[in-house]
Amino acid sequence: MIPHGNSETPASSATEINREAPKASPAPAEPHDRGAWGLWEVFVRSSRGLSHVHAGSLHAPDAAMALRNARDLYTRRNEGVSIWVVPADAIAASDPDSKGSFFESPQGKDYRHATYYTKSEGVKHL
Amino acid sequence: MSTPEATETGHGDISTGVAGGDSNASATRITPGNALRPEDIALEVKTGLVKPSEDVAEYALRLGDDALILAQRLGHWISRAPELEEDIALGNIALDQLGHARSFLTYAGAGMPKEDGTATSEDELAYFRREHEFRSVQLFEQPNGDFAATIARQFVVSYYQYQLYRRLTESTDATLAAIATKAVKEVDYHRDHSSQWVLRLAGGTEESRTRMIHGLRLMWPYVNELFQDDDLTRRLAEAGAGVVPSSLREDFDRLTADVLTEAELEVPDVPAAPGGGRYGKHSEHLGYLLAEMQVLAREHPGASW
């Protein structure tokens, strides 16, 4: 359940592409119902100059607590210098079932890679 | 800590508790960091580099006992907190406190030599003293109660410890200053954690608010004892090594009142408990806590794992 590590898609994200408008208000439920703690995705930047990388997810009643829970769950061993938390349902993800039409089309199109082309004579610094 | 010399002499610059800073940090490698560890203090004690005065040892014993008893209390929440995330948060805080306890007790033990002249170890102090030999104030041994009661205890403790350690970073005793320098950052986070929860429980449901108010009423009688001066603390303050507890009260009152006001809560109007923990007078709860904490070490003396 939590934290679930690096899954391919955020657990409660929209699974289809652009069929739904992105949800406008990502704020999770008020902390009144204990079972209603929202799911948050955590991104940790391990060092200055690197980018934030998805570390996992967690439950929290609001953004401030999500940051603190992320600090406690994902930076216990010096892993980070910066944390982002994003409500899981604010992430629109690609549909795993449409992998063929979405991601397999570039295969075989080697002319999209620089290595496909022969170096022209006399061109320096390539 | 990579050169043999550094290993032999422990942390190089005890005044900051950091040897070499973050110069070994790498963009791709996770490092444990190199802040002051209890093992470094033990090494310095063993090699005779540091030795506390009798007063400082007694003072370190007090602060170490506070942290040790709280760590034991908080550890009980593991697997029992309202959410997994909170379970880990409380566990982290418990481990921070245990780290402070180990440092303080190791240092205290250096000033309490055994008959053969060697220092008393942190384990001997933690596991083989009896109830009346513990010097913690009574707040730390108060039962966890419900989550709100634990947060109330954390709220008082973290604001008190923050003020104390902040001042101790300027102690003339280099080891006390080094321990405080490491601890104050951690306790600052404990302060943030507890105040966030005070605000949320007070502003949550009627039930959570009632429990928060009740939790604060349970813990507030033990606030007074935190700020009581005695001859030891006065002597240490005179020497610049320690802090007179009463001098922390004003900041404590002001900063806790800020949070309580924001949470629309009042400072509980309850009579103060008599106290006496610093002289070994404890509430009825400590004996049971010690029984659980010490049973394994006493059943198998000298065992290691």
Distances in Å between the Cα of B204 and the Cα atoms of A88, B8, B158, B213 are: 23, 53, 22, 12
Run of H or E residues at A59: strand A53-60
Q: Give dist(CA B103, CA B37) in Å, integer.
A: 7
Alpha-carbon distance of B87 to B90, in angstroms, equals 5
- Output the pLDDT for position B302: 82
CA A100 to the chain's CA centroid: 21
Q: What is the pTM of this model?
A: 0.81
CB contact under 8 A, A59 and B193: no
SS3 category, B281: coil
Are A73 and B83 in contact (CB < 8 Å)?
A: no
- State the Cα–Cα distance between residues B144 and B208, nearest whole angstrom: 16
Residue B92: list chain A partners with CB under 8 A: 72, 76
- Shortest Cα–Cα distance, A111 to chain B (Å): 33
Q: Does residue B222 contact residue B142 with C-beta atoms inside 8 Å?
A: yes
CB contact under 8 A, A2 and B82: no
Amino acid at A93: A
On chain B, the residues whose CB falls within 8 A of the CB of A81 are none
Per-residue confidence (pLDDT) for residue A114, from 0 to 100: 87
At residue A64, the pLDDT reads 95
Both tokens assigned to B43: 């090494």
| Interchain CB contact of B92 with A (< 8 Å) | yes
Order of strands, sheet of A82-87, starting from the edge strand that comes earlier in the sequence:
A53-60, A38-45, A82-87
Cβ–Cβ below 8 Å for A68 and B193: yes
Q: Report ipTM (2 d.p.).
A: 0.76
Listing DSSP states for B164-212 in one string gives HHHHHTT-SSHHHHHHHHHHHHHHHHHHHHHHHHHHHHHTS-HHHHHHH
Check if the beta carbon of residue B44 is closer than 8 Å to that of residue A66.
no
Average pLDDT by consecutive 10-residue portion of chain B (305 residues)? 39 38 46 79 91 96 98 96 92 97 97 93 96 98 98 98 98 96 96 97 96 98 97 98 97 98 97 96 97 95 81
CB contact under 8 A, A77 and B30: yes
The residue of chain B with its CA nearest to that of A61 is B200
**Facing residue for A59 by CB, picked from B83, B200, B204:** B83
Looking at 3.30.300.30, 3.40.50.970, 3.10.20.520, 3.40.30.10, the CATH number of the domain A32-92 comes to 3.10.20.520
SS3 A74: helix
pLDDT of residue B13: 39
Report the residue from B27, B82, B83 with minimal CB separation from A49. B27
- Phi, psi (rounded to 5 degrees) for A27: -60, 130
Separation of alpha carbons A42 and A60, rounded Å: 11
What tokens were used for A100?
Answer: 């063929």
Please tell me the distance in Å from B131's CA to the nearest CA on chain A: 33
| pLDDT value at A21 more than 70 | no
B88 at A interface, C-beta within 8 A = yes
* Interface size, chain A vs chain B, as Cβ–Cβ contacts under 8 Å: 50
A39: nearest CA in chain B? B85
Residue A75: closest C-alpha in chain B: B30
How close does chain B come to A108, measured CA to CA in Å?
33
Maximum Cα interatomic distance, chain B, rounded to a whole number of Å: 60
DSSP string for B210-277: HHHHHHHHHHGGGHHHHT---HHHHHHHHHTSS--GGGGHHHHHHHHHHHHHHTT------PPP---G
